[in-house]
Amino acid sequence: MSSQERVAVPAIDETPAGEAVPGNDGLAPGRMAVFVGLFSLILLLSTVFVSISFRHFTGVSGWASLVLPLLLTLGFVPAMLLGFRRRHPLITALYRVSATALAFLNFALIASIVCWLVALLQISADSRLLAFSLYGLAAVVTGYGLINAGWIRTTRITVALSNLPREWRGRTLALVSDVHLGNVRGGAFVRRIVSRLNALKPDAVLLAGDMFDGAEVDLTTVAQAWEKLAAPHGVYFATGNHDEFSDRSKYFTALTRSGVRVLHNEKIDLAGGLQLIGVHDGEAGEPARYRNILGRLGIDRQRASILLTHQPSNLTVPEDAGVSLQVSGHTHGGQFWPWTHVVSRVHGRFAYGLNRLNSLQVLTSSGVGTWGPPIRVGTRSEIVLITLADAGQSSA
Ligand SMILES: [Fe+2]
């Protein structure tokens, strides 16, 4: 499957190459409890506000207009938690319905705020008609978001790297991140991705984490779907934060079985000496540990290097280590407003696309799947096809 030559490959920073697959402890229960508590409270307050606003402005009454929204949106957290433990069609159905309800809640919240603003500012309008129009628009936007999220686009970009080996000039890499296999997407989604990738004929494929959402999935089906992927210089993976919600080693076993090469905080040389490094999310999230890993890999600054790691964060670490290009995902581009805005505030210009931090180029994909509400509005589900070009000699 791959023509790479393996060099200097400590499997993780504590484990020599070739030893046991590194696991992890999963989510800390305390952090999970805080997240679940806060998230549930926000959902509860938002849903009550939207329900009361809807009843107030449309004149619709009855228990269903209050209880039904609460059941729908508050079902998301138990569906997510149950899904972490077991796979069942009822859990999948509850998750899908409640996640879609959350998408509608987001836009219905905006509609409610607009209704109240119009009322408070005493703007002359038929408030009932306005309310029905805005809540109707929220439903239409949600429907559009569902369709848009399922439409996989190919984004083509050329990246020029200094000291790029002759063998890689004009060749292509496919970047696929954030597949989020779980209650919404499964083996059929992987088959669609694989079919698109095989049509694009990339020379290598980089899977940038969050392959799994965190829910229990049929790993055999998923592995069989990835098996059909053909790339002459290999398919590579490093974990994302969602892949680390539980012991990640089970994913490594399944992916390795399907021919995917998991990069355990290591560097390999592809044909011609192009350096490819993969660092898992857990390790890349700890700057000191991250710096130690990259420092010990012996990255050659005289040759182009590509770092596969999930988040466009802690960027000074790879920049100091002399990495030429980092490829990441994680942000999803925010998926839809206002989260698009939030993600831009958190990650700045590195939230999406190709950007530069001094000598380090960072390419962030908006990902191919979704987390939570399975919608995208103003962002795209994408596979990025990178064409490599030579930027000339550099002694950096
Ligand atoms: Fe993700």
* Pair (63, 91) in one structural domain: yes
Residue 222 CA, chain-centre distance (Å), reads: 17
Flag whether 17 is in a domain. Answer: no
Rounded-to-integer distance, Cα 385 and Cα 388, Å: 10
Tokens read off for 124: 């002359």
Flag whether 5 is in a domain. Answer: no
CA 149 – ligand 1 centroid, Å: 14
Rounded-to-integer distance, Cα 352 and Cα 350, Å: 5
User: Above 90 in pLDDT, residue 321?
Assistant: yes
Flag whether 18 is in a domain. Answer: no
User: Above 70 in pLDDT, residue 21?
Assistant: no
* Pair (113, 168) in one structural domain: no
CA 329 – ligand 1 centroid, Å: 7
Phi, psi (rounded to 5 degrees) for 111:
-60, -40
Rounded-to-integer distance, Cα 344 and Cα 334, Å: 8
- Over residues 124-130, the mean pLDDT reads 87
Amino acid code (one letter) for 131: A
Flag whether 4 is in a domain. Answer: no
Q: Work out the percent of the chain whose per-residue pLDDT is above 70.
A: 92
pLDDT tens track for 71-100: 777 888 888 989 888 899 999 999 999 999
CATH number at residue 355: 3.60.21.10
* Pair (222, 367) in one structural domain: yes
Q: 62: phi > 0 → left, psi -120 to 50 → alpha, else beta; which?
A: left
Flag whether 208 is in a domain. Answer: yes
CA 333 – ligand 1 centroid, Å: 10
- Over residues 270-285, the mean pLDDT reads 95
Q: What pLDDT score does 16 carry?
A: 39
Amino acid code (one letter) for 341: H
User: Above 80 in pLDDT, residue 20?
Assistant: no
* Pair (338, 370) in one structural domain: yes
Q: What is the mean pLDDT of the chain?
A: 90
Amino acid code (one letter) for 8: A
* Pair (80, 180) in one structural domain: no
pLDDT tens track for 153-206: 999 999 999 999 999 999 999 999 999 999 999 999 999 999 999 999 999 999
* Pair (360, 225) in one structural domain: yes
CA 368 – ligand 1 centroid, Å: 9
Last residue of a domain, one of 128, 149, 170: 149
CA 100 – ligand 1 centroid, Å: 17
H and E: helices and strands count for the chain:
12, 13
Last residue of a domain, one of 101, 116, 149: 149
Q: In total, how many domains does the chain have?
A: 2
Q: Which domain holds residue 92?
A: 29-149
CA 142 – ligand 1 centroid, Å: 20
Flag whether 9 is in a domain. Answer: no
Last residue of a domain, one of 114, 149, 184: 149
Flag whether 14 is in a domain. Answer: no
Phi, psi (rounded to 5 degrees) for 177:
-130, 160
CA 310 – ligand 1 centroid, Å: 9
